Amino acid sequence: MKRASSYSIAAAAVLSAFSAGCSGFGQPRENLPPVVPNQGMVIGKPEEKSAFSKAKDVVLAPAAGVTKLADSVASPFVGEATDSGAESSASDSLSLSKPVKPSPGLYVAIAQAAERSGNLAGAGEQYRRALNLDANHLDALLGLARLNDRQNNFEEANKFYAEAAKRHPQVAAAHNDRGLCLARQGKLEDSVACLAQAVTLQPDRALYRNNLATVLVHLGRPDAALKHLVSVQPKPIAHYNLGVLLAQQNQLQLAAEHFRTAAQLDPTLEPARQWAARLASAPAGATNQPASGVR
């Protein structure tokens, strides 16, 4: 199992763009196989947990095939473009020992606190106050875009994502988040363009490659998706992940091919072998149904 253990770091997050479902990019799915890439994304709503979101390392378990996440999966929109000084700025500025000095960072911190408490209207007001002081403030632009995105206010979300990408063209997170929002609206070609820009800016970021690969599979371009997956993952893991994505699209024959390839490249990758065997033994009438997760 030496080789299997070498994947313990590479298999660091559940590949759950699938948790978002295969058609709506926003409906959670249960009982899906949890293996994979170094970092991942979420095509579901920002607050939803998903296999493509960030998570702590998981290790392939010889007995069960795959372990579960050691911790809960983080939101794809956390940590992408945050004002690192916002929290401390808010704390310092609200201290009674010194006068409050309004700043964009302070308003963003207050907005984020309002979001956490469920006061979405108040959060929006604080983000707008930040933008009134600095129309270029990245965290305020993305914060307002994500806030509207979570509420399915896509017109407003699109506007602020586009503004963030326009004012900060070299910030990959702005293009990535805009691409995810477009994918949830079914604008997949536009989504690919935005996600590709994020990949161009940060080609080594697995998060962006995974997001782009997922949308490419939905567009029926698995070969292009595989190129992105293998660029940030070991080949067996990349083929396994592509197999799962294809299975979620009911492309079970092609999915089985990639599971077999993954198992051939690494015979110790038990989940790939189990998937391939399950699809091979599935009744003819069941081949159009998504395969259930490996347990």
Domain hosting 33: range is 2-78+203-274
Tell me what pLDDT residue 97 has: 57
Tell me whether residue 192 is in a domain: no
Tell me what pLDDT residue 282 has: 67
Please check whether residues 266 and 133 belong to one and the same domain: no
* Among candidate residues 252, 251, 273, the one with its CA nearest the CA of residue 264: 273
Domain count, the chain: 2
Please check whether residues 74 and 7 belong to one and the same domain: yes
Tell me what pLDDT residue 231 has: 97
CA 252, 218, 267 angle in degrees (round to 5)? 45
Please check whether residues 268 and 207 belong to one and the same domain: yes
State the DSSP H helix or E strand holding residue 280, giving kind and residue range, or none if neither.
Answer: helix 270-280
Please check whether residues 209 and 253 belong to one and the same domain: yes
Burial group, residue 291, by CB count within 10 angstroms (0-12, 13-18, 19+): buried
Please check whether residues 8 and 72 belong to one and the same domain: yes
Mean pLDDT, consecutive 10-residue segments, the chain of 295 residues?
Answer: 40 34 35 36 37 27 24 29 43 54 92 94 95 96 97 96 97 97 97 98 97 97 97 97 95 96 96 93 53 34
Tell me whether residue 158 is in a domain: yes
Tell me whether residue 140 is in a domain: yes
Cα–Cα distance measured from residue 136 to residue 155, given in angstroms and rounded to the nearest whole number: 20
Domain boundary among 124, 155, 170: 170
CA 39, 40, 45 angle in degrees (round to 5)? 145
Please check whether residues 98 and 233 belong to one and the same domain: no
Owner of token pair 């990245």: 138
